[in-house]
């Protein structure tokens, strides 16, 4: 399930369903977007003087901003000491992730994480060229949920789908 913005009643319905069946839920099923969040999680404490910014670009008709993927990357940065994000508006608040949301054209999605220091920067970017990128994650989730490998009821994510299988002693 890749639907976001369900609201309180939708979330309750999803939780009820997950008590009966396994559900894979992810804001973005593109495998590269998952890897971007994994890399963001691994950054750890930010050096003094570094700022984090995220620029996300989506098709002109996308309604939410920032996107659920951008919010996921923001949450993944929590280990870096950045606990809040703010919409880019001019002067930034130190220690926050600044997110700029752009809506233009028909691009399926681009997320650029920029870590900028006094004399250098690091760019981590995921760009989707075609919606087929989302299909790879959806197919991986479908195979993972296949009846031949029964799963316990619950809510799962791509981290579960892509993790190596456990070998029981």
In a domain, 115, yes or no: yes
In a domain, 46, yes or no: yes
pLDDT at res. 167:
67
CATH code (residue 26): 3.30.360.10
- pTM score of the predicted model: 0.85
Q: What is the mean pLDDT of residues 35-61?
A: 91
Task: Point out the catalytic residue in the list 62, 65, 119, 126.
Answer: 62
Task: Point out the catalytic residue in the list 34, 58, 111, 126.
Answer: 58
In a domain, 148, yes or no: yes
Active site residue 58: yes
pLDDT at res. 54:
94
pLDDT at res. 166:
67
Domain ranges, residue 36: 7-162
In a domain, 97, yes or no: yes
Number of domains in the chain: 1
pLDDT tens digit string along 119-166? 999 999 999 999 899 999 999 999 999 988 889 999 999 999 998 776
Q: What are the DSSP E strand ranges found in the chain?
A: 22-24, 51-58, 85-87, 97-103, 109-116, 121-128, 154-156
In a domain, 137, yes or no: yes
In a domain, 81, yes or no: yes
Residue 126's φ and ψ, nearest 5 degrees, are -120, 130
Active site residue 65: no
């Amino acid at each position: 399930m890749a639907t976001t913005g369900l609201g309180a009643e939708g979330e309750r319905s999803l939780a009820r369903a997950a008590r009966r069946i396994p559900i894979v839920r992810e804001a973005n099923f593109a495998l590269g977007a998952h890897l971007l969040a994994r890399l963001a999680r691994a950054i750890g404490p930010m050096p003094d003087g570094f700022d984090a910014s995220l620029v996300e670009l989506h098709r002109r008709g996308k309604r939410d901003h920032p996107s659920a993927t951008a919010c996921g990357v923001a949450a993944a940065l929590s280990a870096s000491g950045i606990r809040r994000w703010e919409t880019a508006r001019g002067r930034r608040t130190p220690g926050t992730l600044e997110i700029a949301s752009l809506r233009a054209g028909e691009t399926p999605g681009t997320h650029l994480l920029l870590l900028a220091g006094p004399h250098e920067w690091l760019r981590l970017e995921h760009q989707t060229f075609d919606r087929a990128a989302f299909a790879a994650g959806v197919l991986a989730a479908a195979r993972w949920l296949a009846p031949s490998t029964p799963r316990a009821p619950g809510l799962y994510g791509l981290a579960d789908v892509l993790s190596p299988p456990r070998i029981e002693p």
